[in-house]
Amino acid sequence: MKYSYLIVGAGFTGATVAREIAEKCNEPVLVIDRRNHISGNAFDQNDKNGILIHEYGPHIFHTNSLQVWEFLSRFTEWNPYEHRVLGQVGKKLIPVPFNFTSIETLFSSKEADIIKEHLLEEHGSETKVPILNLLESKNRFVKELADYVYNNIFFNYTKKMWDLEPQELDPQLLSRVPIQIGYDDRYFHDQYQAMPKEGYTKMFQKILNHPNIEVKLDTRFEDISDPNEFKKVIYTGPIDEFFDYRHGELPYRSIRFEFLNHDTEYKQKVATMNFPGFEFQHTRMTEFKHMTFQKNPKTTLSREYPEAYNSKSNLPYYPIPTKENKKLFQKYRNDADKVEERVAFVGRLADYQYFNMDQAVARGLQFFKKELLSK
Ligand SMILES: Cc1cc2nc3c(=O)[nH]c(=O)nc-3n(C[C@H](O)[C@H](O)[C@H](O)COP(=O)(O)OP(=O)(O)OC[C@H]3O[C@@H](n4cnc5c(N)ncnc54)[C@H](O)[C@@H]3O)c2cc1C
């Protein structure tokens, strides 16, 4: 087949754009990925005990976008699922995000009543307030609570996760960490929260199953002898790698995942446990069966150890949101503008921006509509 488009990367961004081109332009697309599987970082497969695990860390789907929800729902049925997280602070387990139950667990009932009363007075019930706002509160009780959460939980978790202190990171990151004024203990509040019934990889197989789409795995962009043969290349890999790191490497945080098998049905009360304290090296532990609803007498968990990224030894997971890194990315973006006739850079590694899965799909849909369909 002679292809009109080359898509580099079979993750959410690449697969979405491929499907849109195949269906709406009726043109042939070649999708390549250097890994031996589709689905990018959302790849899942059964482990030796038949438990569906997420190889690159737990992925929970949630969105407020009807467009994204409808697009993906063509390729999968869903299990409704609301994610819940408990954090270990000292010897106690508290709901995360921090809520009224967290306050009642950590403080005496007299102190807890006073703090809850002041929070309700200042913010009303069932609201989510960023910790940043609470830190600036003039109310002594609210400010004390905010300081407690910041010093005992947020600061430690941030330092472990990023190896940076919160003030070194983009303030937007801090502004997204909320305290829940009430007892709601759901981690996400999006309108659509669900997990693909048969897993992400099965969903990707269906997205990419179209007569106009061919997928070649174990194939790197460098293996394509003449990219100019294609009408356009849509590149969802790391933008700095495309330009041979000419301005230096874009910094990322990586994670090492350790998978633990147990001969017991369940090991944790909820899907994810957070460990902000420095007494643990890991930050999170996730038990997959809580999210997939599989019935199995055994269980598998993944433990996450954040670590420095090195392009030769591990994978780029989270772009590190600092001012300096944004400037470095801008240099690559300027280079990208010079080749935009032939190559488009789209997706979390090409945009050097953390995207949730729904945002990656939305980015793909929007890119297709604006840059390919209308031209
Ligand atoms: C640990 C972790 C947990 C996450 N949890 C959630 C979650 O709970 N909920 C949520 O909504 N989102 C989550 N995400 C985000 C989610 O993984 C991303 O939204 C999604 O992966 C973005 O898709 P993408 O296609 O842009 O990138 P990717 O999934 O990274 O796909 C890019 C693909 O391009 C390929 N590639 C790169 N360069 C080349 C090259 N030169 N040649 C060939 N192929 C190449 C790569 O192999 C990769 O498969 C999480 C991310 C991480 C890291």
Compute φ and ψ for 301, nearest 5 degrees: -125, 155
Mean pLDDT of the region 231-238:
97
Q: For residue range 167-217, what is the model confidence (pLDDT) as tens digits?
A: 888 877 777 788 999 999 999 999 999 999 999 999 999 999 999 999 999
Provide the pairing of β-strand 299-308 with 252-262: antiparallel
Q: Kindly report the protein residue whose alpha carbon is nearest to atom 21 of ligand 1.
A: 41
Cα of 148 vs centre of ligand 1, distance in Å, is: 34
Closest-CA residue, ligand 1 atom 2, reads 57
Is 41's C-beta closer than 6 angstroms to any atom of ligand 1?
A: yes
Q: Is 360 in the pocket of ligand 1 (CB under 6 A)?
A: yes
Ligand 1: nearest atom to the Cα of 304: 1
201 pocket-lining for ligand 1 (C-beta < 6 Å)? no
**What phi and psi, each to the nearest 5 degrees, are found at residue 211?**
-60, -25
Across-strand partners of 303? Answer: 258, 285
Q: Which of 49-58, 86-95, 165-174, 321-330 has the lowest mean pLDDT?
A: 165-174
CA 360–ligand 1 middle distance (angstroms): 9
Mean pLDDT to the nearest integer, 237-254: 96
What pLDDT was estimated at residue 261? 97
CA-CA distance, 181 to 100, in Å (whole number)?
7
**Is residue 1 predicted with pLDDT exceeding 70?**
no
Question: Does the C-beta of 355 come closer than 6 Å to ligand 1?
Answer: yes
82-136 pLDDT tens trace = 999 999 999 999 999 999 999 999 999 999 999 999 999 999 998 999 988 899 9
Identify any residues that bridge with 272 across adjacent strands, giving them in sequence order: 85, 286
Q: 318: CA distance to ligand 1 center in Å?
A: 10
What is the three-class DSSP state of 89? Answer: strand
Output the residue whose Cα is nearest ligand 1's atom 3. 57
Could you say which DSSP state residue 4 is in? S
> Domains of the chain: which residue ranges?
5-81+194-249+319-373, 98-181
Distance 161 CA to ligand 1 centre (A): 18
Q: What is the DSSP letter of 40?
A: G
Secondary structure, 3-state, 208-247: HCCCCEEEECCCCHHHCCCHHHCCEEEECCCHHHHCCCCC
CA–centroid distance, residue 281 to ligand 1 (Å): 24
Is the beta carbon of 115 within 6 A of some atom in ligand 1? Answer: no
Whether pLDDT at 375 is above 80: no
Q: Name the phi and psi angles at 214, rounded to 5.
A: -120, 140
Architecture of domain 5-81+194-249+319-373: 3-Layer(aba) Sandwich (3.40)
Coil, helix or strand for 66?
helix
Residue 235: closest CA among 249, 218, 252, 222: 222
Peptide bond into 97 cis (omega under 30): yes
For residue 168, the model assigns a pLDDT of: 86
Mutate to test the pocket of ligand 1, among 256, 290, 357, 365 (most ligand atoms within 8 A of CB): 357
Alpha-carbon gap, residue 163 to 290, rounded angstroms = 30
Cα(124) to centroid(ligand 1), Å: 38
Whose alpha carbon is nearest atom 34 of ligand 1?
A: 9
The pLDDT value recorded for residue 356 is: 96
Question: What ranges make up the beta strands (E) of the chain?
Answer: 5-8, 29-32, 44-46, 52-54, 61-63, 78-80, 85-89, 92-96, 127-130, 178-181, 192-196, 213-216, 232-235, 252-262, 272-274, 284-287, 299-308, 318-319, 343-345
DSSP state of 249: P
347 lines ligand 1 (CB under 6 A): yes
> Smallest Cα–Cα separation from 251: which of 320, 306, 173?
320
Band (251; pLDDT cuts 50, 70, 90): very high
